[in-house]
């Protein structure tokens, strides 16, 4: 069974540019999460989808971040325009049910120069 896949693995962009990160959850997992780890700090929750609906987006930093999950399959996280403080590793995770066990992808490292 394929795990959670994320693309790109690393993105380097200039401040003010736009980046879109993609996550393909494990097939059949209705729950999809985005988390972010800024260098040396804790992994922080961004938002949670149940199928195509946003269940909780309380962790989204500001309106420069937009997450979508059209059709309830893969998800995208767009940052527009990117700022220096957006640099970090963005993790996607999925779960088949609300048990707390999350399956994480390898992350997308974003560097904003």
Binding residues (CB under 8 A) for other proteins: these are: 4, 31, 33, 35, 40-45, 48, 55-56, 58-59, 91, 93, 95, 97-107
Give whichever of 85 and 106 is closer to other proteins, judged by the CB atom: 106
CB of 20 to other proteins, least distance (A): 19
Calpha distance 71→16 (Å, rounded): 29
| CB contact burial 14-40 (16+ within 10 A = b; e otherwise) | eeeeebebebbbbeebbbbbbbbeeee
**Min separation Cβ 91 and other proteins, Å:** 6
Q: Which is nearer to other proteins, 4 or 21 (CB)?
A: 4
Rg (the chain; Cα; Å)? 13
The encoded tokens of residue 52 equal 């195509």
Nearer to other proteins, 27 or 80 (CB): 27
CB of 3 to other proteins, least distance (A): 8
């Amino acid at each position: 069974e394929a795990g959670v896949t994320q693309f790109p693995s690393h993105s380097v962009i200039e401040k003010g540019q736009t980046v879109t990160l993609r996550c393909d959850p494990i097939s059949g997992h209705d729950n999809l999460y985005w988390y972010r780890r800024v260098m040396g700090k804790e992994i922080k929750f961004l938002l949670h989808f149940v199928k195509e609906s946003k269940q909780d987006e309380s962790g989204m930093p500001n309106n420069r971040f937009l997450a979508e999950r059209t059709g309830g399959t893969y998800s995208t996280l767009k940052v527009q325009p990117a700022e220096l403080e957006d640099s970090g590793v963005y993790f996607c995770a999925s779960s088949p049910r609300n048990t707390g066990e999350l399956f994480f992808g390898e992350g997308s490292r974003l560097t904003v120069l």
